[in-house]
A = this chain, B = another copy of it.
């Protein structure tokens, strides 16, 4: 099935204990698509400026990502984010955020994008997510991300959008903040009452958990001693999840969702091993499958 992702396309500048980079290809839609491209044909919807050139398109196209719906805003600059990671790489500070062309982004979906059967609404303003959701009438499975900013300043809009998706994928802290409930299971159940049938909590270095009305699945993270730069790990995880579900084609049942999370976990573990998504530029499918199999052995008792 076809997979469309709507989200940010960015340049990131990062400082980490392992070194620094001043211009990494990033953004939620990019991290997502680089990952999902290993599993399913992926179309990216998002805006870029004049500084987004052939080199960047080439990275995506080498991965088979469909770039027709990347919107070039003449005279604009691409979204820019700069951050500094601590020695404990789970901690970071944002140094700079320039929205640039992302500030006035109004998603324009081509017919091909609107026909997506599997849709991921990466972290953008929730009213925009809702407009995209409503345009994609053929979508059979829709998931979304969000962030603390929208929980704070656009709560009613966010709640409305959550009511229109099948699956909510959030950090566990965001899920607790959204529902004002410090216990993850209770928080997830409150989120299920808003409409989705699946809630996936991303738990960073600990792994992830899926909560449905009648089930629970907990998956440890893949153990990674050498974390270079973790920006985009959550979007990469989502890309693995949605890519697997799109590839599955059929019903999105409990078993498919579990295996999808394993793919998300494996791909995210590659993501953090390099700067940006660079570690994912030249993987082959067998390496990914091998890591999923390894994860299975590492979590079975």
List chain A positions with a Cβ less than 8 A from chain B. 86-90, 176, 182-186, 189, 203, 205-207, 209, 211, 215-221, 223-225, 227, 255, 258-259, 261-262, 296, 298-301
Report the bound CA distance from A216 to B215 in whole Å: 26
User: Which residues of chain B come closer than 8 Å to A176, judged between CB atoms?
Assistant: 88
- How far does the alpha carbon of A209 sit from the alpha carbon of B298 in the complex, in Å? 10
**A186 → chain B, closest Cβ, in Å?**
5
Q: Are B90 and A298 touching (Cβ within 8 A)?
A: no
Q: Which residues of B contact A220 (CB under 8 A)?
A: 207, 209, 218-220
- Return 27 A-B CB contacts under 8 Å, by A number: A86-B182, A87-B182, A88-B176, A88-B182, A184-B205, A185-B223, A185-B225, A189-B225, A206-B206, A207-B218, A209-B220, A216-B223, A216-B298, A218-B220, A218-B221, A218-B223, A218-B299, A219-B220, A219-B301, A220-B220, A258-B300, A258-B301, A261-B301, A296-B301, A299-B299, A299-B300, A299-B301
8 interchain residue pairs of minimum CB distance: A218-B220, A88-B182, A258-B301, A206-B206, A185-B225, A185-B223, A216-B223, A186-B225
In the bound complex, CA of A110 to CA of B175 (Å): 52
CB distance from A68 to the nearest CB of B (A): 35
Find out whether the CB atom of B183 lies under 8 angstroms from the CB atom of A227. Answer: yes
| Cα distance A300–B300 in the bound complex, in angstroms | 6
Given contacts A189-B225, A206-B207, A223-B209, contact A301 B182 (CB under 8 A): no
Chain B nearest CB, measured from A57 CB (Å):
35
A88, A227, A300 — most chain B CB neighbours (10 Å) = A300
Bound: A259/B300 CA distance, A: 9
